[in-house]
Amino acid sequence: MLGYPHDVENMMLHPETGILKHMKKGAYVIDHTTSSPDIAMKIAAEAAKLGVNSVDAPVSGGDVGAKNGCLVIMCGGEEAHVNDVRPFMSLYGQQIEWMGSAGAGQHTKAANQIMIANTLFGVCESLIYGHKAGLNLDQMIKLLNKGAAGSAQLEKLAPRMLKRDFDPGFYVEHFFKDLGIALSECERMGLTLPGMT
């Protein structure tokens, strides 16, 4: 798991130092970086030429999920390759899903980040509204989380906001990077998502 798509591309595909061409035939490379679907497809194509099995497998769950071994892992690549590495990934992942061919894991993570961004925006606006309306915000959070508005952001992050605890569980610059990837994919697909702009 690396920071940025260019790090992944350089680490895997660099003409002199890329690791793919130094791997044994039949070996597996699992990339947990949130990267671009395009790079995942390039890596899979190059790996296949070299007899290496590639799985793009970004994760959700942050630091806490990693420490507790309960990450959600979104996999792209050949289904058989995902099944081969599933026992290994189950050591740190509670949910491991094959989503489709190379790049599908990355597309799923983009959808995840779009949903988080929009939900978090709604949670913040809801708290401001509740505050201005004079509601007990702790009570409001508990109540609303039991209904259709319930979400991980409302359950876990809203109480922290009320305590003014803004300690991140994830680097903000990485979230911006992830949303940038999602926006680039939207552009490529000719898709406009108003909540993303």
Examine the residue annotation and report whether 109 is marked as an active-site residue of this protein. Answer: yes
User: Residue 182 in contact with residue 112, Cβ under 8 Å?
Assistant: no
Annotated active-site residue in 21, 24, 49, 109: 109
Alpha helices (runs of H) in 50-171, residue ranges in sequence order: 62-67, 79-89, 104-132, 137-144, 152, 158-162
Tell me how far apart the alpha carbons of residues 72 and 191 are, in angstroms, rounded to a whole number: 26
Of 145, 88, 50, whose CA–CA distance to 137 is shortest? Answer: 145
Give the residue numbers marked as catalytic: 109
